[in-house]
Chains A and B, each alone.
Chain A
Amino acid sequence: EMKLVESGGGLVQPGGSLTLSCAASGFTFGSYEMNWVRQAPGKGLEWISYITGSSSTIYYADSVKGRFAISRDNAKNLLYLQMKSLRAEDTAVYYCARDLRVAGVRWFDPWGQGTQVTVSS
């Protein structure tokens, strides 16, 4: 069974830092591109970052560029999201998702169950 499990969320003060992890199992992790997506309370889904299997290409949403860093350890089947200079508006459930592509069509599957990040004093 393909599975993604996030961890590392919690309560952090504004301006603080946090690192999220996503543990992958059931598939050859290093062969797939990965993403982080978040959902703020009462809001929709927001894509925030992407990384290729080799880590050669990385993208960020403007809302987190310069503050968040995505990385991966293919030997450990782990995806990371380092978050710095956290703001109240970063409060959300953070999901990791595997990126799939066939004949130019792309989608996310599976997704993890999410980890809650709360930025508050």
Chain B
Amino acid sequence: EILMTQSPATLSVSPGERATLSCRTSQSVGSNLAWYQKKPGQAPRLVIFGASTRATGIPARFSGSGSGTEFSLTISSLQSEDSAVYYCQQYTNWPPLTFGGGTKVEI
């Protein structure tokens, strides 16, 4: 099973600042990594797939990078609506398909 480690657990950022979230995998997953945004009471929302491709409707301030075992999600200029928990997910060596523990972004 591929283990996913996200850091930090919580990120407190002021509006307009830049936020960088990290996801590490225990084995290489190539570019097969996705990021999801989860707000309380809402469905998870796809943000990034293929490590760096923005999903439809996701603002350009969101960007993903990395390959192999090290990945990052960057929000270039935080808005209040970006407050959420962000999860990374690998889909290379499965089952089981695995998610990271999440990073909570507080504005």
Enumerate chain A interface residues (CB-CB to B < 8 A).
35, 37, 39, 44-47, 50, 59-62, 95, 97, 100, 102, 104-114
Contacts and interface: CB of A to CB of B under 8 A. Distances in A.
B105 interface: no
A111 B45 contact: yes
Contacts, number: 69
Contacts of A45: 36, 38, 44, 87, 89, 99, 102
B7 to A, nearest CB: 14
Contacts of B96: 47, 59, 61-62
Contact of B49 (A50, A107, A114): A107
Contacts of B91: 105-107
Nearest to B99: A45
A95 B99 contact: no
